[in-house]
Structure 1
Amino acid sequence: MPKWIKANEDESNVVISSRMRLARNLSNYYFSNKLKAGEAAQVTKEVEDAVMSGNSALKDQFSLHNMKDMDELERVMLIEKHMISRELAKTEMGAVLIKEDETVSIMLNEEDHIRIQTILPGLNLEKAWDIADKVDDVLEERLHYAFDERFGYLTACPTNVGTGMRASIMMHLPALVEMGYMDGVLKAANQIGLAIRGIYGEGSNSRGNIFQISNQLTLGRNEKELFANITGLAKQLVSKEIEARSFLKKNQGIKLEDKIFRSLGTLQSARVMDSAEAMSLLSNVKLGIEMGYIKDISTREIDLLFIRIQPAHQLKMFNPKTPGERDVKRAGFIREQLEKMIEDK
């Protein structure tokens, strides 16, 4: 499982992870959507050589995975672990270099030739940026980026021109959802150039009350300004979510506690469960842990389950013949995991 999932002391009640992404293109090739298969393969080779030969510290930490050599199940598992985008999974010409601890991935021939991604636990954007910047420096020593003195780094999509930087924070916001405040949050984010999307980013829906906050534009913005906007909104949401949880506890009392323990009871006893229901119930359990109702399970264990119950992971583990059989296997897997968690305590 990805090493970026672990318990955090400060924002563990709300912030799950921070991610930094840098978009880069090579100056001597067309953008990815115009590349022929042979040219895409050459881009992959040049970047792989830059990683494997350019720095001894990186050489032994990364492995290359070509999309054409992976079946759909393997690709979707990487999406579920947030290692690659859904767009990269769709192209046969794409590839990804993945660091052994899965905190860094370098996507190749997605929308841009290179997308360096760093993902870390908790509210940790500056460290994520520092790691991505160091990887970028290693690549730039051996590669010639498409760069303009006036506009900055040139990218396939105009919204990424400039720094080419996209920062995002994954947050668990069940109380704000319960109180109907998310529409107002979405409008406020748009007004300062930020976007709030679902669990897998652009084009995805929220599941398990998990959202991603990211910047929409990079042109004319520097790193400090982007950090300030995203981190500022994240801290406000942390505060508002904690306030909303206190309000729910005060005003719903036993009803809130009942909802949490009914969710846990269902997960411990259900014989059939699809991923959407599982995510919703696990979100309630996670809230119960974070509010102190549930003592024998950690938030890290639930965050791991969020990934392990996804369709591709379940297919990999159990190889069910039908979606119905997969839902039966998922329910059994959740029961087994929860039992182990409680026994271990």
Structure 2
Amino acid sequence: MKLEELADRCGEWLRGSGPQSDIVISSRIRLARNLAAFPFIRRCSEADRQAVDRAFRDAVAAVEEWKDIIFFDVNSLGTLDRQFLVERQLISRELSEASGARSVFVDRHETFSLMINEEDHLRVQVMHSGLDLTAAWEQISAIDDALGKNVSFAFHQRLGYLTACPTNVGTGMRVSVMLHLPALVITQQIEKVFRSLQKMGLAVRGLYGEGSQAMGDFYQISNQITLGSSEVDLVKQVGEVIPVIIDYERQARAFLVKESRKDLHDRVSRAFGILCTAQTISSEETLHLLSSVRMGINMGLIQDLEIPTINKLFIHTQPAHLQKLRGITLETADRNVERALYLQTHLRKRTDQN
């Protein structure tokens, strides 16, 4: 499968069909693993990296259920193609920006990916729509077991799985949930929530994980340390906090409807109007406006427009996706024009039908 074919589709985690999907975009679990026979990535020679890559290719090929898995040699991809996979949440920025032998395996529904030679030899990632951590944990555990039958992971009897970053030692697991929290931002309660999360040992990051800014009112909440906790404990730690944040967001939305419904409706309507009529628009402004529209749909302020459509636009209007869909490389100014046309095409369908 070519990247252009992926561009036309929408990953399973973006369908907006999971539990609490009006606020929770996705549930993600990552596992860090290293092969026992090789040094950590930072001490690997290029020959080591190639050997690690081959070892995982053989391990994946040995799993009968993965015969139709998609493979991309990240090292041979151009900058645009790598950026596309980052926007798609299929690889990390670290894997994109690294050098030497590295690759990724992706299942056709995009519920999981296997990143080879990132910060660790292997990063397994599972993503599900909505708040569905239990199912994500069950899937990633099965993937870990399947690979473990064909390779030997670096493991210490007392410390657990050995990883390049000390905070991942133990289970090597990061549990994260991506939430859309526009009402908490509007009511200026978001910082208070974040301070509470940090006191509980949870990290808050932006749309593209560590080091990224919060765009479109999207935030990833995850555990910070894995050592000393079991996989079940980590899933429970994050899983118990998320419903509280969901409740805070719902309360903030109810407050906005009760106290400033006209202002809220005006905010949503203006956002939708700009998206439908703009002749040029940046990706940052698009995310900001789509955030308001998404909230408006969930609060009943916009009719005949579905959340999966908006979720899709969040990704498809990103720079690399736009260029892949258009089939040509575009400068920033041209992308802004193309983005406006793309938004008009998909959003005006709704106004034309009314």
TM-score range, shorter chain: over 0.9
Deviation string, structure 1 residues 224-245 (Cα, Å, up to 9, x no partner): 2212221121101110000000
Aligned amino acid, residue 82 of structure 2: R
User: Offset of 1:128 from its aligned partner?
Assistant: 0.7
1:332 to 341, 345, 348: 341
Out of 35, 38, 43, the position equivalent to 1:29 is 38
Q: Deviations over 1:47-93 (max 9, x none)?
A: 1111111x2112x1312211221111111111001000000001232
**Superposed CA offset, 1:242-290 (max 9, x none):** 0000001111111110110111011110101000000000000000000
Residue matched to 1:79: 86
Which residue is 1:41 aligned to?
A: 50
Counterparts of 1:284 and 1:216, CA distance in 2: 30
Offset, 1:153: 0.2
Instruction: State the SS of the aligned residue for 1:213.
Output: strand
Separation in structure 1 between the aligned mates of residue 352 and residue 154 of structure 2, nearest angstrom: 55
In the alignment, what sits opposite 1:174? 182
Q: What is the aligned counterpart of 2:217 among 184, 209, 220?
A: 209
Q: Give the C-alpha shift of residue 322 in structure 1.
A: 2.0
Contact 1:48–1:64 at 8 Å: present in 2 too?
Answer: no
| Within-5 A mapping of 1:243-254 | 243-254=251-262
State TM-score, norm by structure 1: 0.97
Match 2:303 to one of 295, 305, 309: 295
User: Which residue, out of 98, 106, 122, partners 1:114?
Assistant: 122
* Contact 2:283 2:318 (8 Å CA) reproduced: yes
Match of 1:267 in 2: 275
- Taking only aligned residues, the RMSD between alpha carbons, in angstroms, comes to 1.3
Equivalent residue for 1:61?
A: 68
Whole-Å separation in 2 of the counterparts to 1:32 and 1:256: 50
2:139 corresponds to which residue? 131
% identity of equivalent residues: 39
**What do residues 190-233 of structure 1 show as CA deviations (whole Å, max 9, x unaligned)?**
11111010000100001000000111000001122212221121
Cα distance in 2 for partners of 1:61, 1:343 equals 40
Quote the Cα distance in structure 2 between the aligned partners of 1:49 and 1:9: 33
Equivalent position of 1:219 in the other structure: 227
Q: Taking structure 2 as the reference length, what is the TM-score of the superposition?
A: 0.94
Amino acid in the other structure paired with 2:287:
M
CA distance in 2, matches of 1:68, 1:237: 39
Amino acid at match of 2:76: D
User: Are the aligned partners of 2:35 and 2:153 in contact in 1 as well (CA < 8 Å)?
Assistant: yes
**2:3 matched residue in structure 1:** none
Residue pair 1:314, 1:330 contacting (<8 A) in 2 also: yes
Cα–Cα, structure 1 residues 321 and 224, in superposed 2: closer, same or farther, change >3 Å? closer
2:77 maps to 70
Q: Deviations over 1:15-40 (max 9, x none)?
A: 01000111100011010111111211
- Equivalent pairs, count: 343
Query: What's the CA shift for 1:341?
Result: 4.5
Query: Aligned equivalents of 2:122 and 2:65: distance in 1?
Result: 20
Cα separation, 1, equivalents of 2:73 and 2:156: 30
Kindly provide the amino acid, as one letter, of the partner of residue 298 in structure 1. Answer: E
Q: Are the structure 2 counterparts of residues 341 and 70 from structure 1 closer, same or farther at C-alpha, using a change threshold of 3 Å?
A: farther
> Aligned with 2:303: secondary structure?
coil
1:97 to 89, 105, 120: 105
CA distance in 2, matches of 1:13, 1:211: 14
Residues 154 and 65 of structure 1: CA distance in aligned 2, closer, same or farther (over 3 Å): same
Which amino acid in structure 1 is aligned with residue 115 of structure 2? M
